[in-house]
Structures are given as C-alpha cells and as structure tokens.
A and B are shown apart, each in its own frame.
Chain A
Amino acid sequence: MASSEMSLASEHVQRLLQCAVCLERFKQPKLLPCQHTFCLTPCLEGLVDRRTRSIRCPECRADHFVPRNGPASFPNNLTIIGFLELSSAAGRAIESMGRSEMNDVRPLREFLQPQRAASPQFVPQDAAGAEGGGCYVCHNEGRIIRCCHCDQLVCEECRHGHMEQVRADVTRMISQVRRGLPQMTEFIIAIGRKGTQLQNNCERVKGDISDALEKHIRELKARERALREEVDTFLAGELRNLRTHQENAEVEIASLASFCDSAESVLSMSRPIPDGDLVEMKGQCQEHLETVYCYEDGTIRPPALKHIQATLESPFLSSTISNFGDLIITSRLPQAQSQDLSDDPLRRTTVMSREWTLVSPQAEQLGGRQGTSLQVSPQMEQLGSRQGTSLQAELRASSISPNAARRQLSPASAGRASQVRFDDAEPAVDNSRTGVPLQSSNLHRRSRQERRSDTVLARISGSRSLDTSQQARDRTRHLSLGALPAATEYFEEESPEPEAHFPGIPVTSRQENRSDTNTGLSATYPGARSNDFLPPSLRFSLATSESDETSNDSTNGLLSFSNSNNPSIYVNTPRNKYNQKGTAVLRFGQRGSGAVEFTWPRGVAVSPLEDKIYVADSSNHRVQVFDNTGRFHKSFGTYGQGDGEFDCLAGIAINGLGQVIIADRYNHRVQIFDRNGNFQNAFGSEGSAEGQLNYPWGVACDNMGFIYVCDKENHRVQVFQSNGTFVRMFGQFGNRTGQFENPHYIAVSPDNKVYVSDSSNHRIQVFSMYGDFLFSFGTCGVLRGQMKFPRGIAVDNQGFVVVADSGNNRIQIFRADGRFYSMFGSWGSENGHFKGLEGLALLANGNVVVSDRENHRIQIF
C-alpha cells in the first residue's frame, strides 16, 4: 500500500537522522573528519579521550585529534540540520516511539506495522493487488473480510492468526506498561522528598530570621540602656553642679549673716569702737553690700539650666528596619531543559565555573551557617506586590544596611540615630563628644548624596535626605541594582547535599578564611575615592584589596542583583533564542563604495522607532541605512571636517527621538543628525580636557537622552547632554576597577546600567549611570566567559548582554550579572563566521545585527 511504503521511507529517513550513540534524533550534529556525524552532547563529549585529546569515531574507529576548544569546534553537519528541521513535524510521531514507557499505548499501530520480514503476513504489497482477488495474505479465494486492524482484505484464517498476533502484542505491551509503573512511583517519591527538603529549608530560614532579629533587638536594648545611663550620668553631674552652686551660695549667706550679726553686736555695744575697726567694718560692709547687690541685680546668676532632650527620630533606621532582609528564591533549572551546558549555569564544569563572592559581614556573625545569609524582610507582601510575582525577591543592599545600622547604633561610633544634644545658652560649654565631629563629614556626605544615590553609600550616609520611607525604598531599589557585598554562589550541580542550600542562595560558610570582605567591598565602594568615612577595619581591607585585585580575576564577579528589573538573571529561556543562533538569517554587503557596499563597517545601531539598521561605514565616511530586511534605504555623509562630514566614523547610536549620534573619530568629535539625516549639532574637539575627545569610538544613549561616549585614547567615558553640554566623565588609564584601556564600545541597559567593553583589559565593566563602578566580568582567554578584545556590546530588553568577542571571533551572550549564557561564531568568511567583529545592535524582534569588519558585511542572527 502506498501509504505504508511512504511511511517506510520516512521511517528510514528518521533512522538516518538518529545518532548512533544515543539512538535519538541528532542534537547539534557534529561532523567528524571521517564524515560520520554524532550529537555534540553527550555523545561526542563522552567519547573524547582527554589525555590524548583524541576521539575515536564510533562508526569507523578512526582516530581524530580534538581541537583545543573541544568537540564543539568540529563543524556542524548542516545537511542533517536541514533535514531535522524539515522532518521535525513528521518525525515527531515516530520519535514518540522511543519515549519512556509512561507514554500512551497509541503507537501500537506503528509498532506492528512494517516489519518482520520473517512473518509472511505483513509483506507490503501494491494496493492494486489487494482489491482484485483473494485474501491479501494467502491469496485464497475463500471468505474475504476486511481486517479491522490493518485494513486489508484477508480470509478468515489469516485474520484469526493475525488477531492472535495482535493479542500477543497487546499482552507484551501491557507488561511493558507495568514495567514502567515503578518509575512513576519513583517520581512520586522524589516529589515527596522535595517537599520535605523544602520544609526543612523553610524551617531553617525561619530560624535564621528569628536569630537575626533577636540579635538586633538585643542591640536596640543595649542602646536603650546606654542612652539611659548617659542621661543618668548627665543628671547626676548637673545636680552635683547645682548643688555645688547652692552650697557656695549657702556658705556665702552664712558668712554674710554671721558678719552682719557680729557687726551689729559690735555696733550695739556701748563700748567705743576704735576708728580703724570702724573703717574696716565699713569696708567689709561695702564689699558685702556689693556682693548682695550682685545677687540682686543679676550679676551673679544661678547657673543656666541645661536642658537635655533626646532626638530619637531616625527615618533612616525605620526604613532600614522595614527593608531589612530579603528572600531570594531560585529554582534548580530542570534537567531536561537543554543539552547545552552553556545555558545552564548550574551545570557548569569545574574548569569554567567562576565563583561569585558575595560577602556579608553579617553572615560571619551569623556563625557561618550554611545557606543562611538570607535576611528576610517582614514585609513580604509588599515585596510581592511590588514585584508582581510572589516568587521574585531580591537579595539587596539590606545585607549591608543592618551592618550600617549597627555601626550607627554602637555607642562607640556616632549615634546619629539617637543623638544626645545639649542645648545651652552659655557659650563656653564643651561639645558633646558625639555630635560635632561628625557635622562636617555629614555635610560632606550629603553633597555626594546625589551622585551616589545608586550605591550602597546612600544608606550609610545622609539619613537626612531620606525623609520618607517610600523614598528610602526607592533608593533601595536603586541600591540593589548597584554594588553589593558579596556572598558565594556555587554553580556546581553536584553541590553537597541539596538540603544544604538552594543553588543560587549564597553559601558563606565556606568563605570564612578568605578575605572576602576585600573583594566584595571593592565592588561595594566604587572608586573608593575617599576612604575617610569607612570604618577603619574596612578601610584597611579595601586597601589590601586593591593590590590583589589585578591578580585575582576570579572574584571580579558580581554578586547578587536585584531581579526585579532584570529577567535575564532568572529566566531559564530568554525571549531571544540565543542558543539557537549561529547561522546568519541575513547577510549583506561587500567591499566597495556603492550602495550596500562597505569599507570597514564599524558601529551599528538600530533605530527604536523604525527598526532600521544604521551602519557606520567607516572608511567610506558615511552612514548607510537599511530596513530590517536588509534593503537599502538611504545613506548620508561624506569625507571632510565640516558639519555633516566625517572622517573614519566609528560609533553610532540612536536616541529615543530618532536622532542619530555619531562618533566622528578622526575629527575627535560627536555629531548629531535628525532622523532624516540632516546635520543638527556637533561637539567635541581633540584633547584630553573635560569635553574634549581623543578618537571617540562607541556611543550610546540612555532613555533620558544623555549621550555616553567612549573616549578611547583618553581611556575614559564621557557623558553629555543631548545638546552637547558636558555632564561628567569617569575612568582613567589602567587595569584596575574603574579604569580602562582602550574602551571601544558602550551600551546602556534598560535599567540604566552602563556596560563598557574595556577592550585591552579583555573585560566588560558595568557602571551606574552616574559613573560608579558596579562590577565587571570577563578575563583574557578563549574559554567560555573569557574574551579577547571585546568590542561591540548590546543589551536586550530582558537584560541579556551580547558581546562581540573580536579576538576570538565569536559572539557571547551573558546574563545581566555577567554570567555566561551562550555563544556562537568562529573565524572565517562563511555564514556565521567573522573576521574582525566590530559593532553590535539588536533589532526589535531580538535578532542580532553584527558588523563583520574585515568581511565588509553585516550579518544578522
């Protein structure tokens, strides 16, 4: 029958699309030099002999050398991939045959249909023959009926035998199904176990919450005691003082009274008084009289009454308390998500994993309990409503705020939360030991307030500007986007028993020996431009961290992150299917100067309004505009130094109004055009002062219209308003935190973080929009997550960061906190190959536009 032949044929095709090692459809089929194809993971990777770096082909046993990047660098078998896409729909039916026994028994028909050359009953024949004469099988002309199973005309005996076979098959399948049942029971048990684990975890967390808060309550009580004692001391002192005055006055009175008495008695005596005595008495009387007058007219006054009051208001403290602690909830990524190791950070191998150090000095005092550096906000509902889902919570700056609060509460340091102030009118009163010395630094801090609102410092300094707790909470959200003290996150799947901690939740007990305060704090206190407000202990550790920062690249990572604005942190599957990219869906351009021809294309940008692609055609000194299908739209610009003229333009960006901002590199300036390509404004000149540029390269805009320019030869980033007014700049030459060496491209994420590709330092540095260093990721190398001379960079609307790793000729995608997600690309000139990666941009549908400089073309993935 025709259909069975066709199904046979397609089944053969399906068999050909099966990997011989795992017996399933090819996943990422790689072609070995001997022309045999196998899946990349787990099949090929399991076959590599690491010692000899060789692989033996399972089909032909030929030995092949495995390149350094592993079997992933074998070429993809594009033919197979094409067939897979073709027959994926048809193949699904047959693939379901191979699924576990838990599936339905539907494939009964498929199981039985075409096979068993041994049994004569099922030899497929022409449809024409069946209708003609006789039983399909034995060609008897006997009683013919249509078999209800396979729809053939068969005679009675054959049908009987056939049905017997069907019966036997059914019996067999029943036993198969039964065999699968224990596995389902296992499943149930596993879920039960997870429930218990969850309960234990929650119990532990609750215990930790109680402990942490109890400790703070104890601290508050201690503070209360201290303050009251102070008041008592003050009272005692003042009373003593007053008493002294009283006693003095009493003595005075007594002496005066006695003098009066004695004088009177002398005077009243009839005996004559010698003159001298009388004069002397008069003199004394004068003096005493003056004294009395002093008391009368107020020259001698009782000591001024000192008034003591307590300022117990601290909006800072209240907001700290209300924001204290947070829950971070993550889930293990499911096993069956994808075979690709790269998109499952939990499965990263030891070699390539990076440990993110998240330090909470808090946690050390919590006794280094495992998995317990969680702090919980009592206002979970608030969190829930704010985030929109009850599961996404943040580990926030609050891990340092209670610290800060504690520092404030301790009597040794300035008790600003409750200050004891002495009001008095007398000028010569000694200052309180606490109040004044802070005044100047308070002001100092306050002026930096606005600049550093994104960072932790806002919490420590200036409680005065946080007048409402709402404001504080807003700040907190900003804060949480910023630098934080660090805790350790382990990404190993086989971490010691799952009950010890959720993956993704900091485990700090392992960190006790490490000077984790150092590296974490270097991230926490960005730039560390003035250490004077750090407590001495932290100041010291910050100093030491500077020295080992360059050597210790593994701990440069960030740390925990607010998830509220950053889906890329927690989503399992990004909206843009980065891990399926690798083949360009569109390529256009060739070397030349005509339309759709480029000479060293550099920056690319996508207009958010019209989804058009703008290419900085650098050595043609012009900008070409294409729509998102690659059709040429227009071009503008010519060589020169005048308005609207370029000299080797490099970076290009488009702001929210459609204005085109261009870094006119050799003219050392930035030009702004309107959406039609008409010149509007230009600013900048060669130099290294504020507002001067030296080979500006990448440009980017944030959603408020500020322009960020990578001032490459000045090794810094400058920020301008959209009219060209200089706002600020940050960075200097060097390889430390916050320093650059040849920053090339720059991008601003939707949550206003500035990502700079610090090219010669082989890393991406991330700053707040005010220029405060947040974190950096990337080191020099070829492994995943490492890069060489990163160039173009773009951030999608989920927060994923796409980086053009020009030295490795590949594109890497990271999550917003710097964790590697996936990558694709290699050197060459074919599809999906690059020579000289430059700029990157993202289309509205999530496709990645890449300028492939030495190939003089644009590729879109």
Chain B
Amino acid sequence: MAGLPRRIIKETQRLLAEPVVGILAVPDEANARYFHVVVGGPSQSPYEGGQFRLELFLPEEYPMSAPKVRFMTKIYHPNIDKLGRICLDILKDKWSPALQIRTVLLSIQALLSAPNPDDPLDNNVAEHWKSNEKSAIEQARQWTQLYAKSNTVNSH
C-alpha cells in the first residue's frame, strides 16, 4: 500500500459510520481505493425500487482528480451508456477537491431522478427519451424490474 492518504481513510470511515440514505459504499477487502457501491433507485423515478450496482475507484491523485465511477448494473438512462459509463460534469471538468465520495454518489442518484437527454452519452436512448418520453420511462422501468431488482442483480 502506498500509504493511503488520510482523507481517503477519513472518508471511508465516515461512509461506513454514517452512510448516505439509499446508498451503500464499502471498500474492497484487497484494495482500499476500490469501492463496491449500491445505489437505490430514487423514488418518483422509473428506477424506483431498483438496486443498482456501481464500482468506484479513487485514482492516485485523488482528491485532486475525480474518482472513476461506473455502473455495473444495466440501466436505461440517456446519460449512462451500455457499458455503464456515466456522463456527469463533476466527474470530469467540474470536479473539485471539495467534493467527496458521498457527494459524487448523491449526484449520481440525483442524475437518476433527473435525466438530461440534451447531453447524452448514448444517442439512441436520448433520441428515444426526447421523442417519446413516456415510452422511454416505461422502458426504463422495465429494465429496472429486469436487471435491478435485488434478487436478480445482473452485471454487464
């Protein structure tokens, strides 16, 4: 271990001691920079009731550089592609060292509540969302039932 920075240790402890509501993040046994995350689908969204698995990795320069997050559960969302990559500004150019793991995960949860088809990662999904929002939402709900229900958690 390169000697984990204190900030990471502090964040981890706090995450374990005071978890964010609806989000579970535990570090991997072997690698303290790798987190297994489960985000519950926010209520009032088509992802409600689903448990989405993510992986989160803290690179070497963290907190000066953003953590790397990826969805492991298939999800129908205009800002998340089929590989699970997330299009979120704070994970890229709008990252700030004042943000933490918990805020990142909360932002992702908020992204689920509020998809933004104008800045898409996957054009097809975005098209669908813009042209026929209702049916897109319905599809999202179906995928949630299919892939994100707790007893059938699939990964990519």
Contact = CB atoms under 8 A, between A and B. Distances in A.
Interface stretch (B13-21, B38-46, B52-60): B13-21
28 contacts: A20-B97, A21-B7, A21-B97, A23-B7, A23-B100, A24-B7, A43-B97, A46-B64, A47-B64, A47-B97, A57-B96, A58-B96, A58-B97, A58-B98, A58-B99, A61-B96, A97-B13, A98-B6, A98-B10, A98-B13, A100-B6, A111-B17, A116-B18, A118-B21, A176-B16, A179-B32, A183-B1, A186-B1
A499 interface: no
A22 B16 contact: no
A111 B29 CA distance: 22
A23 to B, nearest CB: 5
A21 B63 contact: yes
A56 interface: yes
A602 to B, nearest CB: 47
Interface in B84-110: 94, 96-100
A20 B103 CA distance: 12
B89 to A, nearest CB: 11
Taking each of B18, B32, B98, which has the highest tally of chain A beta carbons within 10 Å of its own beta carbon? B98
B132 to A, nearest CB: 36
B6 A22 contact: yes
Interface residues of B, number: 22
Contacts of A116: 18
A111 B19 CA distance: 12
Contacts of B32: 179
Nearest to A116: B18
Interface string A590-626: 0000000000000000000000000000000000000
B114 interface: no
A20 B98 contact: yes
B83 interface: no
Given A98-B6, A183-B1, A23 B96 contact: no
Interface in A35-89: 43, 46-47, 56-59, 61
A56 B16 contact: no
Contacts of B118: none
Interface in A107-133: 111, 115-116, 118
The 7 closest A-B pairs by CB, nearest first: A58-B98, A20-B98, A58-B96, A21-B97, A58-B97, A98-B10, A23-B10
A172 interface: yes
Nearest to A22: B7
Contacts of B29: 179
Interface residues of A, number: 27
A101 interface: yes
B7 A100 contact: no
A376 B37 CA distance: 60
B9 interface: yes
A115 B98 contact: no
B18 A115 contact: yes
Contacts of A61: 94, 96
Contacts of A24: 6-7, 10
A95 B121 CA distance: 42
B133 interface: no
Contacts of A22: 6-7, 63
Interface string A357-391: 00000000000000000000000000000000000
Nearest to A111: B17
A18 to B, nearest CB: 9
A734 to B, nearest CB: 49
Contacts of A58: 96-99
B119 interface: no
A76 to B, nearest CB: 20
B16 A100 contact: no
A649 B64 CA distance: 55
A23 B97 CA distance: 10
Contacts of A115: 18
B138 interface: no
Contacts of B63: 21-22
A508 B89 CA distance: 52
B6 A59 contact: no
A118 B16 CA distance: 15
A74 B63 CA distance: 22
B98 A59 contact: yes
Contacts of B100: 23
A182 B97 CA distance: 28
Interface in A19-38: 20-24
Contact of A21 (B9, B27, B94, B98): B98
Contacts of B13: 97-98, 101, 176
A100 B21 CA distance: 25
